[in-house]
Structure 1
Amino acid sequence: MIFNEADQEVRDSGYHRHAFNVLISNRLGFHRQLPETRDAQCREKSYPVALPSASVVICFFNEALSALLRTVHSVLDRTPAYLLHEIILVDDHSELEELKDELDRYVRAELQGKVQLVRNQRREGLIRGRMIGASHATGGLFAMNRKYFNELGQYDAGMDIWGGENLEISFRIWMCGGQLFIIPCSRVGHIFRKRRPYGSPGGHDTMAHNSLRLAHVWMDGYKEQYLSLRPELRNRSYGDIGERVALRKRLQCHSFRWYLDTVYPEMQTAANGNKQQPLFINKGLKRPKVLQRGRLRNLAIRRCLVAQGRASQKGGAVVLRPCDPRDPDQDWAYDEEGQLILAGLLCLDVSEVRTFDPPRLMKCHGSGGSQQWSLGKSNRIYQVSVGQCLAAVSQPIGQKGYVSMAICDGSQTQQWQLEA
């Protein structure tokens, strides 16, 4: 593909502003052919004709116009007309010029009667943006009955911008008498960026704020386990949760212990000798194939990456120590999903929000993102989600250890060898 100077400018500014290749997005246009990624059995599945129509709410902030409109047309092109009641676009106070008059004209001229554009007068964030979209919707909401959505209290309006709302709504639905179902034949595409192209107003850590609200409303005594991993948040303000606590009481919701015992028993180990059979068992689950195995030695420091404490300690830091081929707790496995697993127990993980935090060991979730690594060129260990490389530092950084995430620069401190 040949690029001229104008193309280069679009591509560079696109990466800076949107964290993906806007030049390619613009050339794709608004209609895109997609491969069939579902299981072959899905093609033979039939659905009832008499299904309720749905309103689809799409929130955006400073999104690339081509990607936004391709999303809209993808919904229109792939949804039977009798099932799609409307699409509601919620502009969360975007600043980009192309999302103002140009978008208004396109919605009026090309999407007449199909799309409603709602503009927030201030930055509300994804969570309140969804609620604003829901308030304008006149059909069902996605796959959720409107009455059911409102009965269970909608999202927590005290949560800011982004983060934690998915867990909050999951806990609330299950603990308050509802259920969530997985639709295996459903596919939703996602532009997976290497970093968040926008921040939060004032630079606040909204994930921490939202997670604290979630923990204090729904997790009962188990919130202490979260706070033990993030002790710096123990005295942090998280706003008024009185309305959410009253909602839980009014709905007569179950305890978080009930949630762990009944809905997600896999999350907890045997407690008090009570070994409960998991409610959901995927007997066809296949573990990813291990591609490489060995000790992770840094070529500059000439030490190996290990757990700071126990290799089984979830949330624990990783540090560099003398290599010992006889120590099983120095054994890393790199699998086909891009996971780096220490001693067969926990995965190397990074925060996708607090990218300055050092990596840590967390339960393997199998969803890529914060646990997807690439052992690429020049012996670097590249974190796909945050777009940075694992690096050794010559001096300890406080109590956080000897490794960090850094912009990839090819230096020897960012070179690692996975050696048997």
Structure 2
Amino acid sequence: MAGGLFSIDKSYFEEIGTYDPGMDIWGGENLEMSFRIWQCGGSLEIITCSHVGHVFRKATPYSFPGGTGQVINKNNRRLAEVWMDDFKDFFYIISPGVVHVDYGDVSSRKALRHALQCKPFSWYLENIYPDSQIPRRYYSLGEIRNVETNQCVDNMGRKENEKVGFFNCHGMGGNQVFSYTADKEIRTDDLCLDVSRLNGPVVMLKCHHMKGNQMFEYDTERHTFLHIITRSCLTIGRLEDGSLGPTVEPCNNSPAQTWALHNLTRLDVYRRLYADRTTDRLA
């Protein structure tokens, strides 16, 4: 929903806690209001034929303390801490810049959630937004590092039906965040790694949840990904066009077929961000 463009009964608006007074200016209130209304027993309706006027200013009459990004990150951190439960860690891994922001005291908002007897965020994902890109059942979330090259699987910002890449591991989340799910998929957002033949390219296709070309079984002892349908292993090797990249080859337990799954946590990301800032100050 749009955080400033909606109609709501005044008494109900007050009952569910109005806006979060700890948020600044704008940004994040749209998601916070949506999560709160749905999780606390309400509902949202989009009336397709409704219209609302909006006058755009030529200049913003207020300043953003610390910059626009700082304000939005603070607001998003507040909504994540109050409403997203353990799924907030997924958000922090995808958006590590949010982690080091001072988000203030959210105890009163958590008390409001408790008083309203609101449902968990997992309920929201399962019932309101089942098409969300957040995987609800996963074994690993973070880097997938190749032991031989010491590089990480990277979506390179590419789109559906393009090859997945690999790049130097930077530990900052983003394009190198992959989830290995309980359905044995390797996911980046709503795309799954998919390969159809030996030495073929590993491409990113919409997750279809039908196993087949998208099913990989991770061996926790050998640290290999077995591609079930071809009975071959995920590796960094030569593709059919001669280029080097992720593919599948007969399993041989080589370092090129060995993958370390690193579960990034908020603490990992925070320490790295903090260390980077300390290094910059000392330089």
Normalised by the size of structure 2, how large is the TM-score?
0.45
Q: Which has the larger radius of gyration?
A: 1
TM-score normalized by the length of structure 1: 0.32
User: Relative contact order, CA 8 A, sep 6+: which one is greater?
Assistant: 2
- Which of the two has greater strand per residue? 2
